[in-house]
Amino acid sequence: MARTASLITCSEDDKETLERLAAGRTEPMQAVERARIILGCVAGQRVKEIARRWHTRPNTVIKWRVRFSQHGLKGLVDAPRPGAKRIYDESFRNRVLATLETPPPASQACWDGPAVAAAVNGSVHAVWRVLRKEGIGLQRHRFCCVSTDKEFAAKAADIIALYLNPPEKALVISVDEKPSIQALERATGYVETNNGKIVRGFKSTYKRHGTLNLFAALQVATGEIKTSKTTLKRREEFLQFMDQIVADAPPDRELHVILDNYGTQKKCDAWLALHPNVHFHFTPTSASWLNQVEIWFGIMSRKALRGASFKNVTELGQAIDAFLAVYNLTAKPFKWRQREVKGAQLQNTIVNLCN
């Protein structure tokens, strides 16, 4: 005769917890199985029926039924098992983290896994486990640019106000240049590595075929880009580009132009006197990231220049024009954010390694 499990009871709260575990998709498999077994026992199902339904043994059903009846939900957790004493315990973790706060060995510029392992007299694999668990990447780099401009707050507020609340009947234009873009000719293609992975391969040798400079203007409200390619990057070329921008703009609109502090964009008082509807706004020093057109330069470099091969400057210019034509078809204004970097964050601390 089939054996029937002794009826056990549980509180409504425990039952809700068991039902959540039994239906969970991200819970450990053991927890899901044990919850289903106990729910079957609570429902008065037979031992063999429960075992057959959840593809386990009757003895397993009996074991967890007894554990639950004696200890409740805590009884469904694995009991401590005998074994060797842990070598890498909490004190080892603390030593690893404390080591990272000290200067690296004299022969190294920064800490790495083997150096930390040698300093704490432990296994390098154990060190890496600690670092992974704490979210620390010793070789991860993050570049920061801290402006020392004494008028940083005022200049930044002026530019951000143009982004968020531009003057009525005015156009806000973000202008900058990408100088000396190289026309490099280099063979490239997909290659198979020793481990069977397919990656992009580049020939180690290449030919230089000259450079060109690119001026770009981003209309902040629409995301549309206008460009001009030049062989020189003097103030004359910059003002010619600005003449083009002014000519394309409605004559009754004010133009607020956001620029960085590059020399070619300074000392333009004579030109500004001839264009009273144009106003220049300069970013603080070492804060070109406030200029939104820099975002577009990054997109263009990744999609049109990186990994490309050009036999001459003409091909380079054609590639930029082709990308620009496609980009402007779906151009949208940028919704951007810049991570705040404080002076204290430049120190070598565990908090910075985790960020």
Domain positions in the chain are 12-76, 90-134, 152-329
Residue entry with tokens 């502090």:
261
Backbone φ/ψ region at 245: left (φ over 0), alpha (ψ -120 to 50), beta: alpha
Tell me what pLDDT residue 96 has: 93
Tell me what pLDDT residue 157 has: 87
What one-character DSSP code corresponds to residue 304? I
C-alpha span between 162 and 172 (Å, rounded): 7
Specify the pTM. Answer: 0.62
Tell me what pLDDT residue 336 has: 64
C-alpha span between 336 and 292 (Å, rounded): 8
- Asked if residue 228 lies in contact with residue 145, where contact means CB atoms within 8 angstroms, the answer is no
Residue type, 247: A
CATH 3.40.50.720 fits 152-329, yes or no: no
Tell me what pLDDT residue 57 has: 92
In degrees, to the nearest 5, what angle opens at C-alpha 189 toward C-alphas 184 and 193?
125
Distances from the Cα of 125 to the Cα of 118, 133, 188, angstroms: 12, 12, 37
Q: Which residues contact 283 (CB under 8 A, 6 or more apart)?
A: 155, 156, 159, 258, 259, 260, 261, 290, 291
Q: DSSP per residue over 64-90, as a string? A: HHHHHHHHGGGGGSPPP---PPPSS-H
- Asked if residue 171 lies in contact with residue 221, where contact means CB atoms within 8 angstroms, the answer is yes
C-alpha span between 239 and 225 (Å, rounded): 17
* SS3 at position 159: helix
| Ranges of residues in the chain whose predicted pLDDT is under 50 | 1
What angle, rounded to 10 degrees, do the helices at 90-100 and 124-134 form?
80
Tell me what pLDDT residue 117 has: 93
